[in-house]
Amino acid sequence: MDFLTLIQVLDSTLRLATPLLLVCLAGLFSERAGIFDIGLEGKILAAAFLSASLAFVTGSVWIGLLAGIGASVAMSAIHGLASITLRGDQIISGVAINFLAAGLTVVVSQAWFGQGGRTPPLKSGGRFEPINFPGAVPSKEMADAGPIMQIYSELLSGHSLLVYVALLTVPLSWFILYKTRFGLRLRAVGENPAAVDTAGISVVGMRYAAVIICGVLCGIAGAYISTALQANFTKDMSAGRGFIALAALIFAKWRPWYALGACLLFGFFFAVDNRFQNILLPAWSLSAALFIMTVGLVGYVWRKDLLDKFVLGGLAFGLALIAFMIVASVWDVGTSTQIKIPVVFIQSLPYILTVVVLAGFVGKAIPPRSGGVPYVKEK
């Protein structure tokens, strides 16, 4: 892999991590206030659909963005009504939102546009265009540019506005949560709502504020997917990003800066999936890498609880078995034989990482103490 290819992979990583980052921060605000939100996936879908639809009809990407935010906020309001006001089960409410969005977006899209559950392609003005920095080198001249110019032109320049908005959201979220009175109260509501209520602060109001912020960020993420990353809405185009963002949130231990790193890691695996469809590696190096991962997993779960040992230990056994089968299959012709990694395996890497993160870190990451528990004011 040459330097330009590496920069292009990192460029794709940044673009593909953007919706994950926005949704991860959305879940962070909601769960910090004590409201677990499994419905992030549904909010992304609703926002992506309405954003693409209104952007196509009006020809304005900004109207599409506002429509996407409105759709997501409406979903958040439903979740807030069910889980905060009516004190319902937050998990069931989130799952219901996912089912509602998955069905309605396809049905309404078919009724409006008659294209099998998708919206027509967006034209110029109806989608976010790349922003090229002054002096950036065009793509066709990138191979002749120096490393610094390649980083400037390929990695830093050429993204849509929402990519830079997502990156700025990280320090802004950190500042709001840790440097403002609102952030202190929001975090306190997730830890000890009774104490917050005793201080005369509305627990209901703080939790509704958190779910509305969650809706705004999910709306931006959905609009980005359908008006910047792609140029139309398609069925289930969120592709599990809401659930992956939840895994990244656990991995990041509900902290904004850690969330950035976790989402970039997931984005990197998506970029590898998009960039490399046929990867050839010597059998010995592939087997050695699998064996090293096996040893690492066994060492990690050695003192963990039974569930971690069962899940990650089983994964380690599977990796060791694959390594053995690779060596056995090429033993007669030599271990330097090139092995093609299946495309399906490359495509499944982000989802494999999600399972590993949830199995290996869910026990170590401690969520807000009052998360998922409806608050009932004492009389």
Q: Residues 112, 204: one domain?
A: yes
**What confidence score (pLDDT) does residue 133 get?**
87
**What confidence score (pLDDT) does residue 82 get?**
92
**Strand 279-282 to strand 338-341: parallel, antiparallel, or no bridges (unpaired)?**
antiparallel
Classify residue 274 as exposed, middle or buried by CB count within 10 Å of its CB (0-12, 13-18, 19+).
middle
Give the pLDDT mean for 261-274.
Answer: 85
* Secondary structure letter of residue 121 according to DSSP: P
Domain encompassing residue 326 = 280-347
Domain harbouring 170, CATH code: 1.10.3470
Model confidence, pTM = 0.86
Is residue 235's pLDDT more than 60? yes
Residues 6 or more apart whose CB falls under 8 angstroms from that of 108 comprise 49
**What confidence score (pLDDT) does residue 320 get?**
84
In terms of Cα–Cα distance, which of 3, 2, 13 is closest to 275? 13
In terms of Cα–Cα distance, which of 281, 343, 355 is closest to 318? 355
Q: Residues 214, 335: one domain?
A: no
Q: Is residue 244 part of a domain?
A: yes
**What confidence score (pLDDT) does residue 1 get?**
52
Q: Is residue 373 part of a domain?
A: no
Q: Over the Cα atoms of the chain, what is R_g? A: 23
**What confidence score (pLDDT) does residue 31 get?**
92
Which of 275, 306, 339 is a domain's end point? 275
How far apart CA 375 and CA 157 sit, in angstroms, is 46
More confident of the two residues 214 and 132:
214
Q: Residues 173, 287: one domain?
A: no
Q: Residues 158, 301: one domain?
A: no
Q: Residues 91, 236: one domain?
A: yes
Using DSSP's 3-state secondary structure scheme, residue 109 falls into helix
Q: Residues 52, 84: one domain?
A: yes
Q: Is residue 357 part of a domain?
A: no
In terms of Cα–Cα distance, which of 250, 184, 192, 239 is closest to 27? 250
Q: Residues 220, 287: one domain?
A: no
Give the pLDDT mean for 144-168.
Answer: 88
Q: Is residue 361 part of a domain?
A: no
Is residue 347's pLDDT more than 70? no
Q: Residues 46, 127: one domain?
A: yes
Q: Residues 142, 290: one domain?
A: no
Is residue 365's pLDDT more than 70? no
Is residue 354's pLDDT more than 80? no
Is residue 359's pLDDT more than 70? no
Which of 235, 250, 275 is a domain's end point? 275
Q: Residue 315 has which token pair? A: 């994964």
Which of 232, 251, 275 is a domain's end point? 275
Range of lowest pLDDT (21-35, 104-118, 239-253, 339-353): 339-353
- The answer to whether residues 339 and 330 touch, using CB atoms and an 8 Å cutoff, is yes
How far apart CA 131 and CA 124 sit, in angstroms, is 14
Structurally, the chain folds into a number of domains equal to: 2
**What confidence score (pLDDT) does residue 279 get?**
67
Q: How big is the chain, counted in residues?
A: 379
Which helix or strand (DSSP H or E) is residue 280 part of?
A: strand 279-282
Q: Residue 295's CB: how many other CB atoms inside 10 A?
A: 13
Give the pLDDT mean for 313-320.
Answer: 80
Q: Residues 145, 183: one domain?
A: yes
Q: Is residue 368 part of a domain?
A: no
Q: Residues 218, 245: one domain?
A: yes
The H-assigned helical ranges of 33-89 are: 40-58, 61-80
Q: Residues 37, 139: one domain?
A: yes
Average pLDDT, the chain: 85
Q: Residue 166 has which token pair? A: 């997502």
pLDDT one-digit tens code per residue, 286-296: 788 778 878 87
**What confidence score (pLDDT) does residue 286 get?**
73
Q: What percent of the chain has pLDDT over 70?
A: 90
Give the pLDDT mean for 82-108.
Answer: 91
Give the pLDDT mean for 193-206.
Answer: 89
Is residue 277's pLDDT more than 70? no
- The answer to whether residues 232 and 226 touch, using CB atoms and an 8 Å cutoff, is yes
**What confidence score (pLDDT) does residue 327 get?**
76
How far apart CA 379 and CA 365 sit, in angstroms, is 34
Q: Residue 86's CB: how many other CB atoms inside 10 A?
A: 10
Using DSSP's 3-state secondary structure scheme, residue 131 falls into strand
**What confidence score (pLDDT) does residue 360 get?**
61
pLDDT one-digit tens code per residue, 68-89: 999 999 999 999 999 999 988 8
The H-assigned helical ranges of 233-282 are: 241-251, 256-275
Single-letter code of the amino acid located at 122: L
Is residue 342's pLDDT more than 70? no
**What confidence score (pLDDT) does residue 174 get?**
95
pLDDT one-digit tens code per residue, 1-35: 568 788 888 899 999 999 999 999 999 999 999 99
Q: Is residue 266 part of a domain?
A: yes
Using DSSP's 3-state secondary structure scheme, residue 210 falls into helix
Q: Residue 118 has which token pair? A: 């998708």
How far apart CA 19 and CA 225 sit, in angstroms, is 7
Q: Is residue 80 part of a domain?
A: yes
Q: Is residue 377 part of a domain?
A: no
